[in-house]
Amino acid sequence: MNGDQLFNWLVKFQIEHNLPKVLPHIKDGKADFLTEGDIGYDHRTPYDIKRFLIVANGDTLVSKLADSEMISEPEKLVFNNIPEYQDFERYFNRHNGDGAYIAHLSNAKIARVMEISNGHPRNLASLYRRLPKHFISLDETVGVEESGNKTRLATRIPYLPNLMEDAVHTFQIKGTVHSKLGLGIVTHFNKESMEMFYFDYAPNNKGPYIVESKGIIGVHEKYQLRDSNYVLTEKKQIDLNEINF
């Protein structure tokens, strides 16, 4: 397993598991459970929407996070094998609501952790500021300063001093409502780049749809880190047939 594959699995899970939960509520591009002020926050996110943070690298991650006092009792972690997407899907369908996980990409194993501490060196506190302006809300009405704890962790962990030499990746399915469609985004960070996937409403779109009857498209954006800022390098509409699982 590698970082690109795990991100694709999260995208597939978002499309196949989370999207169907809200589809019956969507009419003319808006979920009926949203009220004014919900976009950019997660207090209206349905409970059965899976959202989680995954921190991943080889097989040294647990000991290094424990050394940084970001996780406790590492000896109690129970790892499960997820060599194929079907294993990944079954694993996450067993867990409810929110959560944080550690994955070993080298041997396709994953474990749930009770908590990942938000401690970090001071120079990493403001990394969220370089996120794209539409990262929290598609219409940019809610700024990146409203990033939650898991997003801040996702941006910082690849830069922790004792992990800088490792190929650390962080992944999220966010619970924060990104648009009127009522769902969050999927993210992937490492030291050099980030990527995100989100849904948008485009009833007159000519490209591929995720759900054509509802006018829902899927957008994949890739960014490279240049001069301490994320620069968009690719943006395209995708469907499930284009994703390599």
pLDDT, one tens digit for every residue, the chain (245 residues): 888 999 999 999 999 999 999 999 999 999 999 999 999 998 888 878 999 999 998 777 888 888 888 888 898 999 999 999 999 999 999 887 678 999 999 899 999 998 888 766 556 667 888 999 999 999 999 999 999 888 988 998 888 888 877 889 999 999 999 999 999 999 999 999 999 999 999 999 888 999 999 999 999 999 999 988 899 999 999 987 777 65
pTM: 0.94
Residues 106 and 56 sit within 8 Å (Cβ to Cβ):
no
* Rounded CA separation 237/198 (Å): 10
Helix axes 3-13, 85-93, angle to 10 degrees: 50
Question: Distances from the Cα of 124 to the Cαs of 64, 127, 136, 158, 244, in angstroms?
Answer: 18, 6, 19, 10, 33
Q: Which one-letter DSSP state was computed for residue 188?
A: E
Closest CA to 155 of 129, 180, 132, 128: 128
* Rounded CA separation 53/186 (Å): 10
Joined tokens for residue 236: 């395209």
Name residues whose C-beta falls within 8 Å of residue 240's C-beta, 6 or more positions apart in sequence.
Answer: 12, 15, 16, 210
